[in-house]
Amino acid sequence: MKRPLLILCIVMLSAGCGKYLEKYPHNGVPRENITMEDAELLVTGMYNIAQYKPTFNGWALFDLIGGDIIRTGATNVNTARLMVEGAIDPDKSIVTTPWNGYFAGLYQINSVLEIIESMPDSQRRKEMLGTCHFFRGLYYYNLVTRWRNVPIIKGPGGENQVQAEEASVWEFVAEEFRKSYLLSADFSSKNYVSKEAASALLARTYLAMGRKGDAAALAEGLIDGQLFSLADFSSIFRGKTNAEEIFTFANLIQESSVNLSSYYYTKDSGVGGAYNFMPTAEAMNMYSESDMRKEVSVAMQGSNPVLNKYCGGDAGRDPIYIVRLAEMYLISAECLGLEGGGLERLNELRRFRGLEDVNPSDEEAFLDAVLQERRLELFGEGFRWYDLVRTGKYTSTVGVDAKYTVLPIPARELSLNGNLHQHLLWQAKNAI
């Protein structure tokens, strides 16, 4: 008898509204009858949800509050500081929609993981489990970088979960990517989870955890391997074949509502756009004329400065870039340090992008050089805010209060779950 696939789709897609740290009903799936075909459909649905559930706010957040992007409109009041202070609040959508999206997506991932674990052992079953752990690691990386102390939910239910210590969440993220590495298939396409993608995100995680030796080793393994190589920006961000992308969401219009370019492009672009956000003058001017990344990263549309990496406009969709080989060069450089060989990795990337070598005088100046190169290389890809936060440079760079180095837990979640506690920096006496 054929299982009703509608039930399976409901498991994946019925995240619903309202309280996101609650238990959803998943007992309608007859697990003993799940076929490999059914499981494949669930995994496909998981890719779909992982793309759109975080929403535009989830994917763009670190750029929007990183100091290089401001709102369009009246320039006399539009500064990076005002952008941050106006956007980050326990009731604002830039905070609430990613929180809701991550936890809604996690319930689906956990449910699929439970179903696949109940299936007979096979190579494909292992690979699908690797995909589940990859996405759970990615979701929790996004959660811990934003909110630090969050509940660790490993099953389909999670009502009134308590928050874990930040260090425990980081360990969980690392463990998820380690599991994904052991279980996932070898690299076949940038649009599918692979061992190499898990390794790259584990390197990113170790960097954030301060495990520099481990991060550098993983990054160097990917740099020295035969699968990936640096590519020019016009190949990466204009849909051409390249060997630099390690994992990228295809983000097709048929399966995702996340339209990055509409927020950044103007209606005069030729493809349309709402033009909600624009680069600051400093960001527009940070690329030298010899920098091969300049034209693809920033541009002028009429008199309007735009972030130019996403060019689909109103009608199209652009890929969501999760990890590229260039990031591995920057991770290796930062972790090896000035005296440990990091300078050569940094300058190797710079030379490929058309720039001259830099020669910092000490480790502090070297870190500044790496951060600047990350700013140039990864502009618009969701890194800047956390790069400044994790290195202790955010408040002085953007000129905001320390509370903006962490996101507040949405007010509604606090009212629904008494086991959640607002971060100390955002508690009333400090949140001035």
Residues in the chain, total: 432
Residues 10 and 158 in one domain: yes
For residue 27, pLDDT beyond 80 = no
- Average pLDDT, whole number, for the chain? 91
Q: How far apart are CA 14 and CA 25, in angstroms?
A: 10
Quick one: 160 exposed, middle or buried, by C-beta within 10 A (0-12, 13-18, 19+)? middle
Q: How far apart are CA 366 and CA 333, in angstroms?
A: 9
> Quick one: which of 227, 231, 377, 250 has its CA closest to 321?
250
Token output for 148: 């630090």
For residue 15, pLDDT beyond 90 = no
Residue 192 placed within a domain: no
Q: Are 250 and 312 in contact (CB under 8 A)?
A: no
Rounded percentage of the chain residues whose pLDDT exceeds 70: 90
Residue 406 placed within a domain: yes
Q: Are 304 and 367 in contact (CB under 8 A)?
A: no
Kind of pairing between the strands at 69-71 and 277-279: antiparallel
Rounded percentage of the chain residues whose pLDDT exceeds 90: 84
- The residue segments making up the domain with residue 279 are 260-307
Digit-coded pLDDT (tens) for 202-233? 999 999 999 999 999 999 999 999 999 999 99
Q: Are 105 and 65 in contact (CB under 8 A)?
A: no
Residues 167 and 303 in one domain: no
Longest dimension (CA), the chain: 72
Residue 147 placed within a domain: yes
Q: What is the predicted pLDDT for the residue at 52?
A: 93
Digit-coded pLDDT (tens) for 55-97? 999 999 999 999 999 999 866 668 999 999 999 999 999 999 9
Instruction: Report the pLDDT averaged over residues 307-314.
Output: 94
SS3 per residue for 245-309 = EEEEECCCCCCCCCCHHHHHCCHHHCCCCCCCEEECHHHHCCCCCCCCCHHHHEEEECCEEEECC
Residues 153 and 266 in one domain: no
pTM of the model: 0.93
Q: How far apart are CA 410 and CA 62, in angstroms?
A: 17
* Residue 30 confidence class, pLDDT cut points 50, 70, 90: low
Please give the radius of gyration of the chain, using alpha carbons only, rounded to the nearest integer: 21
Q: What is the predicted pLDDT for the residue at 256?
A: 86
Residue 44 placed within a domain: yes
Q: Are 311 and 265 in contact (CB under 8 A)?
A: yes
Residues 19 and 145 in one domain: yes
For residue 12, pLDDT beyond 90 = no
Token output for 154: 């490993």
Which of helix, strand or coil describes residue 322? Answer: strand
Residues 68 and 176 in one domain: yes
For residue 369, pLDDT beyond 50 = yes
For residue 1, pLDDT beyond 90 = no
* Residue 159 confidence class, pLDDT cut points 50, 70, 90: low
Q: Are 414 and 94 in contact (CB under 8 A)?
A: no
Residues 268 and 178 in one domain: no
Token output for 104: 């809604």
Task: Domain count for the chain, please give it.
Answer: 2
Residue 85 placed within a domain: yes
Residues 169 and 73 in one domain: yes
> Quick one: which of 76, 80, 79, 75 has its CA closest to 65?
80
Q: Which of 291, 307, 323 is the last residue of a domain?
A: 307
Residues 141 and 274 in one domain: no
Instruction: Report the pLDDT averaged over residues 107-121.
Output: 94
Measured CA to CA in angstroms, residue 335 lies from 209, 360, 362, 389 at distances of: 11, 15, 14, 17
Q: How far apart are CA 55 and CA 261, in angstroms?
A: 13
For residue 352, pLDDT beyond 50 = yes
For residue 237, pLDDT beyond 90 = yes
Q: What is the predicted pLDDT for the residue at 429?
A: 52
Q: What is the predicted pLDDT for the residue at 306?
A: 97
Amino acid identity, position 428? A
Measured CA to CA in angstroms, residue 278 lies from 53, 80, 238, 252, 298 at distances of: 24, 11, 20, 24, 10
For residue 355, pLDDT beyond 60 = yes
Digit-coded pLDDT (tens) for 250-296? 999 888 889 999 999 999 899 999 999 999 999 999 999 999 999 99
For residue 13, pLDDT beyond 50 = no
Residues 286 and 409 in one domain: no
Q: Are 325 and 218 in contact (CB under 8 A)?
A: no
Measured CA to CA in angstroms, residue 117 lies from 42, 95, 97 at distances of: 13, 33, 30
Q: Which of 274, 307, 340 is the last residue of a domain?
A: 307
Residues 160 and 11 in one domain: yes
Q: What is the predicted pLDDT for the residue at 231?
A: 98
Kind of pairing between the strands at 298-301 and 320-324: unpaired
For residue 120, pLDDT beyond 90 = yes
Q: What is the predicted pLDDT for the residue at 196?
A: 98
Q: What is the DSSP letter of 404?
A: G
Q: What is the predicted pLDDT for the residue at 362?
A: 97
Q: What is the predicted pLDDT for the residue at 232?
A: 97
Residue 9 placed within a domain: yes
Residue 203 placed within a domain: no
Residue 254 placed within a domain: no
Q: What is the predicted pLDDT for the residue at 75?
A: 66
Quick one: 245 exposed, middle or buried, by C-beta within 10 A (0-12, 13-18, 19+)? buried
Q: Which of 273, 291, 307 is the last residue of a domain?
A: 307
Token output for 339: 């005296």
Exposure of 106 in the CB half-sphere (CA atoms within 13 A): 27
For residue 431, pLDDT beyond 60 = no
Instruction: Report the pLDDT averaged over residues 49-55.
Output: 93
Residues 180 and 267 in one domain: no
Residues 301 and 415 in one domain: no
Q: What is the predicted pLDDT for the residue at 76?
A: 64
Q: How far apart are CA 276 and CA 280, in angstroms?
A: 13
Digit-coded pLDDT (tens) for 186-205? 999 999 999 999 999 999 99
Q: How far apart are CA 245 and CA 121, in angstroms?
A: 31
